[in-house]
């Protein structure tokens, strides 16, 4: 099992999606008392699909303007894919899945966090030369197609 500590969400500034999260407008009730299970990509549903789980998140803590957590990549089929992709040097970030309101100015209010999912880091999402040399190129293509399908 691969484990590491990482940032999950930053508060008070515009992120790459043009959103601004405030720790005062996010409901993270009971997140610390539960183990969170996440998936790869950007699922369009709020509930977790056990057949898609790739990792779990524990030990949530605030440091400065960010929430951090311990990510454990699991020995599930999707977890093995995630672990192999990471071993091939593909970078992932972990981003929140939740529901709320995105205001015209980009601020997010009444946001309920359900989990944090593994998504391709922007730097690697378009590094085609490196991806093509990966043994897992077909899997990456499928992930990219799913991400694109879910964001349009």
Note the pLDDT of residue 83: 94
| Residue 10 per-residue DSSP state | E
Would you state the pLDDT for residue 28? 67
Please list the alpha-helical segments (H only) found in 20-117.
77-87
Q: What is the pLDDT of residue 24?
A: 79
Exposed/middle/buried for residue 117 (C-beta within 10 Å: 0-12, 13-18, 19+): buried
Contact between 53 and 78 (Cβ < 8 Å): yes
* pLDDT number for residue 80: 94
**Domain limits for position 137:** 2-151
Number of domains in the chain: 1
pLDDT along the chain (152 residues), means of 10: 87 83 74 83 91 93 86 96 92 91 89 91 54 53 61 51
């Amino acid at each position: 099992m691969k484990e590491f500590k990482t940032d999950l969400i930053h508060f008070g500034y515009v992120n790459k999606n043009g959103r601004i999260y405030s720790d005062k407008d996010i409901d993270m009730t009971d997140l610390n008392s539960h183990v969170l299970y996440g998936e790869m990509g950007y699922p369009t549903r709020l509930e977790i699909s056990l057949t898609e789980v790739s990792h779990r998140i524990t030990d949530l803590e605030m440091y400065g303007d960010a929430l951090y957590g311990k990510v454990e990549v699991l020995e599930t089929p999707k977890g093995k894919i995630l672990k192999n992709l990471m071993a091939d040097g593909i970078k992932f970030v972990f981003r929140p899945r939740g529901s709320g309101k995105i205001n015209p100015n980009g601020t997010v209010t009444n946001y309920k966090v359900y989990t944090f999912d593994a998504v391709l880091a922007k730097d690697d999402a378009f590094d085609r030369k490196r991806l093509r040399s990966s043994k897992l190129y077909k899997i990456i293509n499928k992930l990219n197609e799913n991400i694109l399908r879910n964001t349009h």
